[in-house]
Amino acid sequence: MLQKKDLLGIRDLEVSEILSIIELAKDMKPIVLGRKAKLSTLKDKSIVTLFYENSTRTRLAFTMAGMYLGANVVDLGIATSSVQKGETLADTGITLDRMGIEYMIIRHSMSGASHLLAKNVNASVMNAGDGANEHPTQALLDLYTIYEKKGGYKDLKVTIVGDIAHSRVARSNIFGLTKLGAHVTLAGPGTLTAKSMEALGCEVTTDIKASVKNADVVMGLRIQMERQKGGLFPNLREYSQLYGLNEETFSYASEHAILMHPAPVNRGVELMPELIDSQVSVIDEQVTNGVAVRMAILTLLSEGRQSS
């Protein structure tokens, strides 16, 4: 059970809560793979997805997770909703609350949007990404994937490469991995990394090869053109030559290293196709694990709601 109404960030989670989500995700995965029957944990419950920013994986993973647990899942469809008439986030949330919706999944460009929604509704709110702040369910699926492949986190060397500055995925992973005892190195151009992030308990460097050396996990990040104001690197071609991960760069990692990426991937920019489609890549498994992890989160939040 999660002793909270909402899941808004990894920063707020105890290690025991992270591990309980991962433990339960293991039980949920056979359902996602079609090897076990669906559940009725959320029968007669309603979930709404509110995506103010685009998504394929997160929105559909939550939708499938809800369906595998027997819930009714609806999408608000922000582009055709009264948000377009100027309705505030709080008013939208209160409206959905009054319809008896118990679970709300929100992605928004504003950092803190999920916290604002959570304060205004009785429903359990799950943060599906808020600005450059956090993307907790992505980090939880990443942590689950690392657990599956590496069996734990203590003293694991994890290198995160790319657009760190704009990445809510990086921030959530840093919070989670450092809590669990992994060593985290952040690497990218100086304009997309910040030495100040060392305050979060990781190393920061602009030397990609040195950062990848002996890494157990290498995580590429998408260049987030939608959050950049321009001028952070000369052009995509130059970025890919200097900072894109390829087979040569990856050869510096440890022998059984895995390649991760939250996706969508800019093929040929931050990751070269030969690496994405190679044996070291677990990107497709991350997608499957994303459904299992969201099933676990919904289940644990529902147990908390029943006991309160």
Q: Evaluate whether 131 touches 168 at the Cβ level (below 8 Å).
A: yes
SS3 268: coil
* Total residues interacting with ligand CP, rule: CB under 6 A: 8
46: tokens are 């309603």
Please identify, using beta-carbon distances, which residue of 57 and 294 lies nearer to ligand CP: 57
- Residues in 205-244 that interact with ligand CP by CB under 6 A: none
Site string for ligand CP, 158-177 (x = CB under 6 A): --------------------
Cβ of 146: how many Cβ atoms within 10 Å?
28
Q: Which stretch, 51-59, 74-82, 94-102, 270-278, contacts ligand CP (CB under 6 A)?
A: 51-59
- Given 45, 57, 115, 171, the residue binding ligand CP (CB under 6 A): 57
Residue with tokens 């986190």, as numbered in its chain: 153
User: Which residues, other chains included, contact 139 with Cβ-Cβ below 8 Å and sequence gap of 6+?
Assistant: 10, 169, 172, 173, 175, 176
Q: Which stretch, 3-11, 77-85, 211-219, 256-264, contacts ligand CP (CB under 6 A)?
A: 256-264
Q: Which of 136, 91, 82, 90 is nearest to 117 (CA)?
A: 90
Binding of residue 49 to ligand CP (CB under 6 A): no
* Smallest gap from residue 67 Cβ to ligand CP (A): 17
Q: Which stretch, 34-42, 191-199, 262-270, 274-282, contacts ligand CP (CB under 6 A)?
A: 262-270
Please identify, using beta-carbon distances, which residue of 183 and 218 lies nearer to ligand CP: 218
Please identify, using beta-carbon distances, which residue of 264 and 273 lies nearer to ligand CP: 264
CA–CA separation, 298 vs 222, rounded Å? 27
User: Which residues, other chains included, contact 241 with Cβ-Cβ below 8 Å and sequence gap of 6+?
Assistant: none
Site string for ligand CP, 72-101 (x = CB under 6 A): ------------------------------
CA–CA separation, 1 vs 19, rounded Å? 11
Burial class of residue 227 (count of CB atoms within 10 Å of its CB; 0-12, 13-18, 19+): middle
Residue with tokens 């929100």, as numbered in its chain: 106
Compute the C-alpha angle 75/76/79, nearest 5°: 120
Does the CA dihedral 5-10-14-16 come out positive or negative? positive
Binding of residue 262 to ligand CP (CB under 6 A): yes
Site string for ligand CP, 264-293 (x = CB under 6 A): x-----------------------------
Please identify, using beta-carbon distances, which residue of 124 and 172 lies nearer to ligand CP: 172
- Given 32, 125, 263, 298, the residue binding ligand CP (CB under 6 A): 263
244 CA to centre of own chain? 21
Q: Evaluate whether 162 touches 236 at the Cβ level (below 8 Å).
A: no
Binding of residue 183 to ligand CP (CB under 6 A): no
Please identify, using beta-carbon distances, which residue of 137 and 183 lies nearer to ligand CP: 137
DSSP 52: S
Please identify, using beta-carbon distances, which residue of 129 and 244 lies nearer to ligand CP: 129
Binding of residue 55 to ligand CP (CB under 6 A): yes
Binding of residue 133 to ligand CP (CB under 6 A): no
Q: Which residues bind ligand CP (CB under 6 A)?
A: 55-58, 138, 262-264
